[in-house]
Structure 1
């Protein structure tokens, strides 16, 4: 053994989780700062009042943050447990994009003086603009969702447990199926926010979600077909 080998410190088994955790915090903080900056610009450049508790803007930021964080959880699992480079890259892209967006939305809520979680039910903001239906989904269909999947597209606890139990191709296919459905549910919310929000920063984010998730949905459908599988 050389002197350099003797001097080299042992690799810590917890160094990787610590680095990942620090990266997650950094992305959230960056998104929050960016969210507050963009919102301050949007509010200062118009006569719009700060969005209230029942507004489309606040409801979208609260609910989409919850929706996104489940996608981040699933993506993190697939990135760490899949052996397929395509799946790992897709999972990384989803995780990094949606985590930054969550930070941005939480920054808005902080600036507006609103809680990060809704105090009432989910998606009630989607009926505030002129009594419209929820982007093609009725309140009745929303209330029929499982209690542990409070918004369209979200996975249930049983589905998340199944995802964690799989490996190899089965893991890859089920991840794609769950994430495709998750994106489909989220884009309905983003479209409603884009159509009805009055704060420019919110409309811009909603449009970005529609574009990025639209491209990812096309990719996931192609990846499922290449693996001989169909969407859920």
Structure 2
């Protein structure tokens, strides 16, 4: 856990260094966008929402790492936790750089995409965005062992990635900061690849 947290802190520092130049760069069809994103922008909305989304992926990955001895699942979980902790640090670093809040009250998740989050229905038992696991599912993962934990993790993470890809694709279309759009495209490519891997791993476990 310390190693991953350290990587996330390093990522924040790196993000502050190279994002300073990136925030003023926009593609030809985004020339009218402000040099620094505003709080209601897609750039800020994506950074906030994906940071929350990533945090749950990190949490689930550390849970399953301690609930199975299967090296393939443990390796996948470590890769996901490490990658998403680093990316989360970058996005939170950008928000700091832009002088924007990491949480914005009164704004539903994914509003920047033109869609609302879970509204007033109890946030679907803690699943505030599509693809996120509920509190009940997280507790089930904590109590599972061995193959049961592996299968549950792979199923939950597949849905989690599906929701993440949908959000990242929206940033590729709507965000104005080139560095952030490149990060979002990288998420799309990597998570689609991991979804294929997890599908194979589920088949190997008869699920």
TM-score (ref. length: structure 1) = 0.81
Q: Deviations over 1:29-67 (max 9, x none)?
A: 111122222321213455742100100000000000000
- Distance in 1 (alpha carbons) for counterparts of 2:142 and 2:125: 20
Whether contact under 8 Å (1:64, 1:186) holds in the other structure is yes
Q: Is the 8 A contact 1:76 1:91 kept in 2?
A: yes
Deviation at 1:81, TM superposition (A): 2.1
- For 1:203 and 1:38, how far apart are their aligned partners in 2? 14
Equivalence for 2:113: 126
**Structure 2 match to 1:196:** 174
Q: Aligned partners of 2:79 and 2:92: how far apart in 1?
A: 20
1:133-172 equivalent positions in 2, closer than 5 A:
134=115, 139=116, 142-143=118-119, 146-172=124-150
Deviations 1:68-87 (A, max 9, x none): 00000000111222111110
Rounded to whole Å, the distance in 2 between the matches of 1:89 and 1:41 is 35
Unpaired segments of 5 or more residues in structure 1? 1-19, 128-133
Number of paired residues? 198
Paired with 2:109 and 2:25, the residues of 1 have a C-alpha distance of 30
1:170 deviation in Å?
A: 0.5
Deviations 1:80-106 (A, max 9, x none): 221111100000000000000000001
Contact 2:16 2:93 in 1 (8 A): yes
CA distance in 2, matches of 1:224, 1:55: 38
Can you list the C-alpha shifts for 1:141-166, whole angstroms capped at 9, x where unaligned? 85466051010000111000000111
Q: CA RMSD in A?
A: 1.6
Q: Any gaps of 5 or more consecutive residues in structure 2?
A: none
1:1-232 equivalent positions in 2, closer than 5 A: 20-21=1-2, 23-45=3-25, 48-119=34-105, 120-127=107-114, 134=115, 139=116, 142-143=118-119, 146-229=124-207
Q: After superposition, give the CA deviation of every residue in 1:154-197 in whole Å (9 maximum; x if it has no partner).
A: 01110000001110111100000000000001110000000111
The 1-side partners of 2:16 and 2:131 are apart by 28
1:185–1:65 Cα change, 3 Å? same
- State whether residues 63 and 118 of structure 1, in contact with CA within 8 Å, keep that contact through their aligned partners in structure 2: no
SS in 2 for 1:53: coil
After alignment, is 186-195 or 111-120 more displaced?
A: 111-120
